[in-house]
């Protein structure tokens, strides 16, 4: 599990073919690697990846073709948001997220709003149904609050700190972003569907 509070901005140094997918070599940036061990989970732009090799300044992870089909931003040279998996003693500053990207959205607006930015994203219909005003959404691994929803499009506000501390500062209209909806929305839907089945509705 993760919180969507980005710990560091890293960079994909290179991408190599691997059985069933690719192997990413990632420069860890300011991410503290001192307590990392093989098999640990690190969220890379919101996608939970398993560490298969590492040293003090970089780590490697393999990504399957199935994951590549729903995740954006894994190109050589790309900056990436990094977060180590949540520990039970950690503060929950964002919201609980699994690191399982639901799909990608497209940036439709990235406008200045004083020192902040208004970010509008168009989500696939299958994902948009779970996005609610004042609910939580994860964009490229960053926990954000939804300010408005209009059909399959939604808006969030990016404060100057978030812009400085994450890769979202580089977004432009047309960019693809990784989306993970709030876990609570999926559980509520599941409970609703189960209740409807039990009552015959």
Q: How many H-runs (helices) and E-runs (strands) does the chain carry?
A: 4, 12
**pLDDT, mean over the chain:** 92
pLDDT at 86: 85
Strands 103-113 and 21-27: unpaired
pLDDT tens sequence across 33-71: 999 999 999 999 999 999 999 999 999 999 999 999 999
- 111 and 174 assigned to the same domain: yes
Residues 80 and 112 placed together within one structural domain of the fold: no
Final residue before a domain boundary, out of 54, 84, 114: 84
Token reading at 152: 């399959």
What residues contact residue 200 under an 8 Å CB cut-off, 6+ apart?
Answer: none
Region 145-164: what's the mean pLDDT? 97
168 pLDDT band, cuts 50/70/90, is: very high
Q: Which two tokens stand for residue 14?
A: 């290179």
Positions of E strands within 114-168: 116-122, 136-139, 142-150, 153-158
With 0.85 as the threshold, say if the pTM is over it. Answer: yes
Can you tell me the mean pLDDT for 69-81? 96
Q: How far is CA 181 from CA 28, 67, 74, 108, 127, in A?
A: 26, 16, 20, 18, 7
Task: Tell me which residue range forms the domain holding 52.
Answer: 8-84
**21, 55, 84: which is the final residue of a domain?**
84
Please report which confidence band the pLDDT of residue 182 belongs to, taking 50, 70 and 90 as the band edges.
confident
């Amino acid at each position: 599990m993760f919180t969507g509070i980005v710990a560091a901005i890293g960079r994909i140094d290179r991408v190599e073919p691997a059985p069933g997918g690719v192997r990413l070599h990632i420069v860890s940036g300011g991410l503290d690697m001192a307590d990392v061990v093989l098999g640990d989970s690190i969220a890379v732009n919101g996608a939970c990846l398993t560490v298969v090799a590492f040293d003090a300044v970089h780590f490697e992870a393999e990504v399957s073709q199935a994951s590549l089909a729903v995740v954006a931003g894994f190109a050589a040279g790309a900056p990436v948001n990094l977060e180590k998996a949540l520990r039970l003693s950690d503060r929950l500053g964002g919201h609980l997220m699994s690191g399982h990207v639901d799909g990608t959205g497209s940036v439709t607006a990235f406008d200045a709003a004083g020192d902040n930015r208004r970010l509008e994203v168009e989500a696939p219909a299958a994902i948009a149904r779970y996005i609610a005003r004042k609910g939580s959404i994860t964009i490229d691994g960053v926990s954000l609050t939804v300010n408005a929803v209009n059909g399959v499009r939604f808006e969030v506000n990016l404060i100057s700190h978030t812009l400085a501390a994450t890769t979202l500062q580089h977004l432009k209209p047309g960019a693809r972003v990784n989306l993970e909806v709030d876990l609570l929305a999926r559980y509520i839907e599941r409970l609703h569907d189960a209740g409807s089945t039990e009552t015959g509705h």
